[in-house]
Structure 1
Amino acid sequence: MKKLLLLLISLSFFACASETSSLTEEEKKELQLSNTALTINVGQSDKITILSAPQSDEEVVWTTDDEFIATVFHGVVTAHQSGTTTISVIIGDEVATCTITVPERAYELVWQDEFDGDELNLDNWTYEVNGWGGGNQELQYYTDRPENIRVKDGILTIEARKEQYEGREYTSARIITKDKRDFRYGKVEARLKVPGGRGTWPAFWMLGYGHWPEAGEIDIMEHVGFEPNTFHCALHTKNKNGMNGQNVHGKQVFDEEVSNDFHTFTMEWVENEFMGYDRIHIYVDGKLTKTFAETKQIQEAGDWPFNKEFFFILNLAVGGAWGGAMGIDDTIFEAPVLYEVDYVRVYQLKDVE
């Protein structure tokens, strides 16, 4: 009887031990990853490995919450732009995740014009003096007179005036950095205050060298006075330029008139940002307005000229095909009509170790 009792106790003990061992093995089969969080710089990659997984005939599936921030292929994660996303691994009903943080790109300042002093820096800029209408049926004559353009107290001011001059009814100014300062990729930032009033058309933009539109145009900021709450941005190319196909454009609408204060405009122009293709991001006051993306189809069509040097243009037009589409309110000239520029800055990516 004692032997039988000992045998039953022994069997019970081994059964419990076997059950405990079995639970431990099940725990070992939970889906676990090598990392639950990773920080990866733009353009770089890192690998997530599966440390343990349940026995299953189900396919291993890797997903990302935001492919614009980071993509994943068999555990290799590649960062494309700053932000945070989640990489998930799915095997049957089991899911494990890893949070991916892509920090802001590290830029360094390579050129700037703060418009200090009391005159325009002609090492950077050239006055364009003409009255041909800018190809847009504009009505002003661009001059280099201090009445139309001047530098004082750290501000470049372009003033549009209603006056008879060289056969035109209005005067203003336009300056360019062509053959003096040009850039390819990086980040551009400018702090600007636009005039209000129907008929005004201030812009901050860039052109490529060569014939338009094949050489390309980047409109970082355009404002037309008959849309007092709105800033526009656009790209012009051979096949999409407003004359031959609609240009690619974006806009940001404010609750108040944008001419009331200075605003900061930023362009990030990134080489090979997503799957080997370039992208251009436009921001107003730090808020993304539009992302322009190169694609395989665009590349094959030869319609992405934004891989070479471009130069800057600052101008204030009066009237024109767009600026004057709703006519010109001449009463605005009873007070100064001013386009003010605090600074223009250019940054390039730092080398990342």
Structure 2
Amino acid sequence: MSSGAPAPATGAAPTPAIEATGLTKSHGTQHVLKGVDLTVPDGSVFALLGPNGAGKTTAVRVLATLTAPDAGTARVAGHDLRTARSEVRAAISLTGQFAALDERQTGAENLRMMARLGGLRRPAARRRADGLLDQFGLSDAANRLVATYSGGMRRRLDLAAGLVGSPSLLFLDEPTTGLDPRSRRTLWDAVRALSATGTTILLTTQYLEEADQLADRIAVLDSGRVIAEGTPAALKSRVADHRLDLTLATPAAYAALAPRAVHHSPETLTLGLPTDGTAPHIRALLDTLDPTRTTVTSFTVHTATLDDVFLALTSASPVPEPTHVP
């Protein structure tokens, strides 16, 4: 198995795990990727965020050599995506949205099979499987059929299976879809532990908290283009350091202030507006928005979240109308 990207020359900057420029991909008349640029630092956790249909899974499929781009260039794990596809595949692993496991085998048998397919002899395959079962807290269930595993256990076993070949770069395409909160957090711990060993992880997710918890850097993808990229803190500061949530007295008051908001909750007549969080700014904002002190019934202040970033940057639809009936 390949050990991944070539070691950089002494004193040189580390080679990024992924360098992609101008990637495009269409399916018939549908333009899914429209010139995507990505740089994923080696050893980092990088998250792709975006609404359904933004192109996240297509980007992963292109970078994992499952489908060819129509245009653009990329180097993955130090290898050219077009001319060194075999080398790329030897250095990466992909865990998709659904566990790819044989339910008629035990957890240990699944991992040993993967190891044997990867070229390990029986004793080495057994040792590799045992080590991964221990790493992911599955040793007690090693000899149980996968059909008896919970959803969280299956996802952990699927992640372990993706690591049998010791990849330098791991693609995780929405790995916690369908998991309960406890199982999701258990998988987060596994991803953190994996990152601590130096493995580069490219993660796509619909859970904004997941990206906030795990990612060193985030790219927001919308309609096939990267519209923002940076650390979670930097992206949140683009929207606001804090958010002032106002509950309005009437639907008319909600509609009047909605165009200024970055967060909308028409069901509760609540709007969120950016603020620096200081008392003078909040007082001034309230006086400007509600000079008669009859429009705002209550307010709260909290630190901006990735939800705010996501909604502010990907909002292409009209402001929703309030449905509250006083």
TM range (shorter): under 0.3
For the pair shown, the structure with the greater C-alpha radius of gyration is 1
TM-score of the aligned structures, taking structure 2 as reference length: 0.25
Q: Which has the higher strand share?
A: 1
Q: Which has the higher helix share?
A: 2
